[in-house]
Amino acid sequence: MIILGIETSCDETSISVLKDGKEMLSNHISSQIDIHKEYGGVVPEIASRHHIKNIATIMEISLKEAGITLDDIDYIAVTYAPGLIGALLVGISFAKGISYGRDIPIIPVHHIKGHIYANFLEHKVELPLIALVVSGGHTNIIYLDENHKFTNLGGTLDDAVGESYDKVARVMGLGYPGGPIIDKLAYEGDSNNIPMPEPRVGGYDFSFSGVKTSVINYVNKMNMKQEEYNPADIAASFQTRVVDILCKKTLVAAKEKKVKNIVIAGGVAANSLLRKELLERGKLEGIEVFYPSMIMCTDNAGMIAAAGYYKLKFGDKNKVFANLKLNGIANMEIEED
Ligand code: KG4
Ligand code: ZN
């Protein structure tokens, strides 16, 4: 079974070819990051235009690399939400065009589920499991049962983790995206030098705005007093606190749900301290922790095709080929899919 994956939810245009749910024949990713860098974040309108410009060529490259043509495609898996509405529209319209022209069914895929299933492509993951979803727009703890049913146990009440990384980097003038920059810089700093508050949020919910604001206030205060501060100490203190919060709640969820596997998913799954800490703390509890390779942590169509494959196998049959209506496309929650 051959699935064509399409991902255009943010600033990566990506098309993949996946065979039998496991064998990635191609997974071409075209990043616009250098274009958006000068604006300090993704500009939605520019992102949409670049998707339109590139998508057909990227599909050609991907099909060629996989050694197939459109005639060999059985299904098209496309990201339908969440993301930038204009950017999503490009991928969805492209998918609809191929679907109509070639009579190939479309499987609409939730972007976050794609990030979770990236782990299934590279590891032997056992269900049930807990997924820690950490990206620029999401921070959630999700329970995935034996039948691939998703339950959201909790999420952030304010900023997402990646968003906080980006804002902390911005206030120090370090560039965009902030996550990888802070991650690297943290190794040169002392994590005990700047106090970071521990949010008091119950259950599996998170709050990162207090931690983020304490960094912003600290930097503004130092600037006002015209005193120097050490960005590496801030990076280390911020990162240590954030990773500790994420690890603690994820492990509590894993123990409560009695799962033996945890997967980390989303752009922040690339964070070196989070990968190391959760793996080590999981080991102490007899829980195996998986995370995708660095390239599979970024937005890519390979993970979308994988999620499409599992949706086809285990999904609600009435919903697998859902009509791609545009109503509320950006607002759909994980539970709805
Ligand atoms: O999943 P993703 O590519 O896009 C969304 O769906 O949001 O995640 C992007 C986010 C950005 O906020 C970026 O700063 C963060 O992931 N990120 C990291 C690291 N690499 C990327 N955050 C912390 N440490 C990293 N190494
Ligand atoms: Zn993403």
CA of 135 to the centre of ligand 2 (A): 6
> 264 lies in a domain?
no
Q: What is the pLDDT, as a whole number, of residue 7?
A: 98
Q: How far is the CA of 61 from the centre of ligand 2 (A)?
A: 22
Same domain, 103 and 143: no
- Domain boundary (259, 280, 308) is at 259
Q: Which ligand is nearest to the CA of 11?
A: 1
Q: What are the pLDDT digits (tens) for 287-300?
A: 999 999 999 999 99
For residue 264, the CA-to-ligand 2 centroid distance in Å is 12
Residue in 11, 33, 135, 239 to alter for ligand 1 test, most ligand atoms within 8 A of Cβ: 135
Domain CATH for 212: 3.30.420.40
Whole-angstrom Cα distance, residue 80 to residue 126?
27
Ligand 2 centroid to residue 83 C-alpha, Å: 8
Residue 26 domain-assigned?
yes
Exposure b/e, 22-60, CB count within 10 A at least 16 = b: eebbbbbbbbbeeebeeeebbbbebbbbbbbebbeebbe
CA angle 313, 317, 319 (to 5 degrees): 110
Ligand 1 atom with minimal separation from the 165 CA: 14
279 found inside a domain: no
253 plus 135 within the same structural domain: yes
pLDDT value at residue 322: 54
Q: Which atom of ligand 1 has the smallest separation from the CA of 270? A: 26
- Of ligand 1's listed atoms, the one at least distance from the Cα of 274 is 24
| Contact by Cβ (8 Å): 270, 233 | no
Joined together, the tokens standing for residue 45 give: 């309108």
Q: Classify residue 169: in a domain, yes or no.
A: yes
Provide the residue-wise pLDDT of the chain in tens; the chain has 337 residues: 999 999 999 999 999 999 999 999 999 999 888 888 888 888 899 999 999 999 999 999 999 999 999 999 999 999 998 999 999 999 999 999 999 899 999 999 999 999 999 999 999 999 999 999 999 999 999 999 999 999 999 999 999 999 999 999 999 999 989 999 999 999 999 999 899 999 999 999 999 999 999 999 999 999 999 999 999 999 999 999 999 999 999 999 999 999 999 999 999 999 999 999 999 999 999 999 999 999 999 999 999 999 999 999 998 776 677 554 444 443 333 345 5
Round to whole Å and give the CA distance between 250 and 271. 16
Residues with CB under 6 A from ligand 1: 10, 135-137, 162-163, 165-166, 177-180, 183, 266-268, 270-271, 298-299
Whether residue 288 is contained in a domain is answered as no
Domains identified in the chain, total number: 2
138 and 103, same structural domain?
no
Which one of the ligands is nearest to 239 CA?
1
| 39-72 pLDDT tens trace | 888 889 999 999 999 999 999 999 999 999 999 9
Quote the pTM value: 0.93
| Domain-located, residue 156 | yes
Cα dihedral 306, 308, 312, 315 sign:
positive
Tell me the ligand closest to 114's alpha carbon.
Answer: 2
3-state secondary structure of 67: coil
Tell me which of 268, 273, 275, 291 to substitute to probe ligand 1's pocket, judged by most ligand atoms within 8 Å of the beta carbon: 268
Q: Note the ligand closest to the C-alpha atom of 268.
A: 1
* Domain encompassing residue 47: 2-115+297-329
In ligand 1, which atom is closest to the CA atom of 178? 14
Q: Given 259, 287, 312, which residue is the final one in a domain? A: 259
In a domain, 120, yes or no: no
Q: What is the pLDDT of residues 266-281, one digit of tens each?
A: 999 999 999 999 999 9
- Classify residue 281: in a domain, yes or no: no
CA of 41 to the centre of ligand 1 (A): 12
Output the CA 226–ligand 1 centroid distance in Å: 31
Write down which residue in 259, 285, 315 finishes a domain: 259
222 shares a domain with 106 = no
Of all protein residues, whose CA lies closest to atom 10 belonging to ligand 1?
136
